[in-house]
Structure 1
Amino acid sequence: MKPYYEDENVQLYLGDMREVLPALGVKADLILADPPYSETSLAWDRWPDGWPTLAATVASSMWCFGSMRMFLDRGPEFADWKLSQDVIWEKHNGSGFTTDRFRRVHEIATHWYRGEWRGIHRNVPRVPSTYDSKGRTVSVRAARPPHTGEIGGATYSDDGLRLARSVLYAKSMQRAAIHPTEKPVTGLLEHLIAYACPPDGTVLDPFAGSGSTLDAARQSGRRAIGIEANEPYAETAARRLSHLTLEAS
């Protein structure tokens, strides 16, 4: 198939991922998917039946955005995958207009894998500590709460970094968004990609939308393949990627 957009690191294809992906014959190190949640009456917000099963044929590691309602409704479709963890994206502002529920200011990103966990690439990003601790010598006690298992004591020099937390705060795109469900690169997508895709790997986005995942993967030095069913969004994503390529050159 001919890419709708292509540069040395990114390929973007137009069409339904259930038709395009088998025709590409590709393998990816990571799938990063933001599928339609099927929770509104908008024309594009329709769940593509069977896509998680198809995704399992091209990768063994996947981040998938969604809501709790979506994952509960679609749980059987993830039968080919094992759930490893969930991460919360905390937004600076909420969405929705209901007045009989808590104001929703978060979305869930779940990580799924296939096969043995020891064979899955994972590297938790380390971020600066909230207090100045660099250079301190730290003694870690051997004692731990019983439910965490046995961990031996150790002494190390604090480098001022900590494992990224499972709640990631990043401003939602709002007026700057190209797509109504666009996810921010900085503070969110960059961490998910760093965790689950090796530095020289390939990220596949089956619902490319605005191209933010393709942009994030390219910025991190990885290759990216995207598929988008809606041509106006594919065109906008292509312009975005092309503009960023020109800016960098």
Structure 2
Amino acid sequence: MKPYWEDDHVTLYHGDMREVLPALAVQAALVIADPPYAETSLAWDRWPDGWPAIAATVTRSMWCFGSMRMFLDRRSEFAGWKLSQDVIWEKHAGSGFTADRFMRVHEFALHWYRGDWRGVHHDTPREVSHRKSEGRVVKMGHAPHRRAIRPGTWEDDGTRLMRSVITVRSMHGRAIHPTEKPLGILTPLIEYACPPGGLVVDPFAGSGSTLEAARLTGRRAIGIEAHEPYAEAAAKRLAQAPLEVP
């Protein structure tokens, strides 16, 4: 396969991921997918049948963006995957034009995996905590609905695990692609599920935001985009973007 664009960290291909990805014969630490949700009448919003099974041939770990409706409608296509958790991306403003429902200001990112969980890379990012406790704190008790937790101690280092609801301003008004995801939501997902230097695959590359986020965090990335105008826009973005975090 001839790349549409590449540098030392990122390779971008133009074509249908169902044809391109098997031909690449790669193994990745992580797939990040933002597929068409198939919830509108727009020409590009068509679900690519069978893509989750193809993704399963190249990785054991996958973040997939979507709506609850999308995941329920397509649940049979994720039959070979196990669900580890869901993260909610909270936007600064609502999307959609319906007036008979709550204003939708979020999207889901579900983490799927295959095989033994212990063999899947996971390293939860930490964020600054505003707790007042310092030094060593005794943590005792048990949680009968899960399993016994032995008494022990931990040291408060001023951080905590990143929360599962992540608030990041959406790309409305400044996006290259109509469903473009901001770097602020992509970065923690990549840092969680792909080790530094590992390979991230984005089968629906769109504007190239996942590829840029992977490169900025010291990961390698492969992207596939079916629509050439967006592949061209992604290539221009990647050519202009910095190669590392300032």
TM tier relative to shorter chain: over 0.9
C-alpha distance in 2, partners of 1:246/1:163?
Answer: 28
C-alpha distance in 1, partners of 2:244/2:145?
Answer: 51
State the superposition RMSD in angstroms: 1.5
Select 1:200's aligned residue among 191, 197, 200.
Answer: 197
Could you tell me the TM-score, scaled by structure 1's length?
A: 0.95
Question: Over residues 51-79 of structure 1, what are the superposed CA-to-partner deviations in whole Å (9 max), with x where a residue is unaligned?
Answer: 00111001000000000100011011111
Give the equivalent residue in structure 2 for 1:145.
143
Amino acid in the other structure paired with 2:6: E
Select 2:232's aligned residue among 217, 230, 235.
Answer: 235
The runs of 5 or more residues in structure 1 that have no matched partner are none
Amino acid in the other structure paired with 1:212: S
C-alpha distance in 2, partners of 1:216/1:13?
Answer: 17
1:208 to 1:130, Cα distance in 2 relative to 1, 3 A:
same
1:68-217 aligned within 5 A: 68-133=68-133, 135-141=134-140, 143-186=141-184, 188-217=185-214
Could you tell me the TM-score, scaled by structure 2's length?
A: 0.96
Q: How much does 1:131 deviate?
A: 3.8
Q: How much does 1:157 deviate?
A: 2.1
Amino acid in the other structure paired with 2:43: A
4+ long deviations beyond 4 Å? 245-249
The runs of 5 or more residues in structure 2 that have no matched partner are none
C-alpha distance in 2, partners of 1:248/1:198?
Answer: 17
Q: How much does 1:199 deviate?
A: 1.1
SS in 2 for 1:175: coil
Question: Over residues 164-222 of structure 1, what are the superposed CA-to-partner deviations in whole Å (9 max), with x where a residue is unaligned?
Answer: 11111111011111111111112x11110011111120000000000000000000000
C-alpha distance in 1, partners of 2:180/2:243?
Answer: 22
Q: How much does 1:247 deviate?
A: 9.4
1:38 to 1:28, Cα distance in 2 relative to 1, 3 A:
same
SS in 1 for 2:241: helix
1:112 to 1:248, Cα distance in 2 relative to 1, 3 A:
closer
C-alpha distance in 1, partners of 2:188/2:60?
Answer: 18
Is the 8 Å Cα contact of residues 17 and 224 (structure 2) preserved in structure 1? yes
Is the 8 Å Cα contact of residues 37 and 66 (structure 2) preserved in structure 1? yes
1:1-20 aligned within 5 A: 1-20=1-20
Q: How much does 1:144 deviate?
A: 2.9
C-alpha distance in 2, partners of 1:247/1:192?
Answer: 18
Residue-pair matches, total? 246
Is the 8 Å Cα contact of residues 91 and 106 (structure 2) preserved in structure 1? yes
